[in-house]
Amino acid sequence: MPRTTDIVRSGVERIVSDEPNLSCPVPFARYDRVVLAHGGGGRTMHALIDGVFARILANPELDTARDGAVLDFAGRVAITTDAFTVSPLFFPGGDIGRLAVCGTVNDVAMCGAEPKYLTAAFVLEEGLPLSDLERIVHSMADAAREAGVVVVTGDTKVVERGKGDGVFITTTGVGHCRGDVRVGPPLIRPGDAIVVSGPVGDHGMAVLSVREGLEHETPLTSDVAPVAGAVMALFDAGVDVRCLRDPTRGGLATALCELSQAAQSSFRIREMDVPVRAEVADACELLGLDPMYVACEGRFVVVVGAADADQAVRVLHGAGCAEACAIGCVADQRGPVIVDSPLGGERVLDMLSGEQLPRIC
Reported as a single tens digit per residue, the pLDDT across 91-113 is 999 999 999 999 999 999 999 99
- What pLDDT is recorded for position 99? 98
Burial 238-271 (b: 16+ CB within 10 A, else e): ebbbbbbbbbbbbbbbbbbbbbbeebebbbbbbb
Burial 298-331 (b: 16+ CB within 10 A, else e): bbbbbbbbeebbebbbebbeebebeebbbbbbbb
- What pLDDT is recorded for position 191? 97
- pLDDT at residue 219 tops 90: no
- pLDDT at residue 162 tops 50: yes
Reported as a single tens digit per residue, the pLDDT across 333-342 is 889 999 999 8
Distance CA 360, CA 82 (A): 13
Mean pLDDT of 292-316: 97
- pLDDT at residue 281 tops 80: yes
Distance CA 35, CA 17 (A): 11
Confidence of residue 2 (pLDDT cuts 50, 70, 90): very low
- What percent of the chain has pLDDT above 70? 89
- pLDDT at residue 214 tops 60: yes
Contact 188, 301 (CB under 8 A): no
Distance CA 276, CA 20 (A): 46
Higher pLDDT, 30 or 162: 162
Question: What stretch(es) of the chain map to CATH 3.30.1330.10?
Answer: 32-177
- Ordered DSSP codes for 137-151: HHHHHHHHHHHT-EE
- What pLDDT is recorded for position 28? 57
Reported as a single tens digit per residue, the pLDDT across 31-84 is 899 998 887 767 888 889 999 999 999 998 887 776 777 777 778 899 999 999
Average pLDDT, the chain: 89
The model's pTM: 0.87
Which residues share a beta bridge with 301?
A: 196, 245
SS3 call for 274 = coil
- What pLDDT is recorded for position 24? 54
Question: What stretch(es) of the chain map to CATH 3.90.650.10?
Answer: 185-349
- pLDDT at residue 7 tops 90: no
Tell me, what DSSP letter sits at residue 112?
Answer: T
Distance CA 232, CA 178 (A): 9
Distance CA 246, CA 203 (A): 13
Confidence of residue 297 (pLDDT cuts 50, 70, 90): very high
The CATH number of the domain covering residues in 32-177? 3.30.1330.10
- pLDDT at residue 117 tops 90: yes
Fold of 185-349: Phosphoribosyl-aminoimidazole Synthetase; Chain A, domain 2 (3.90.650)
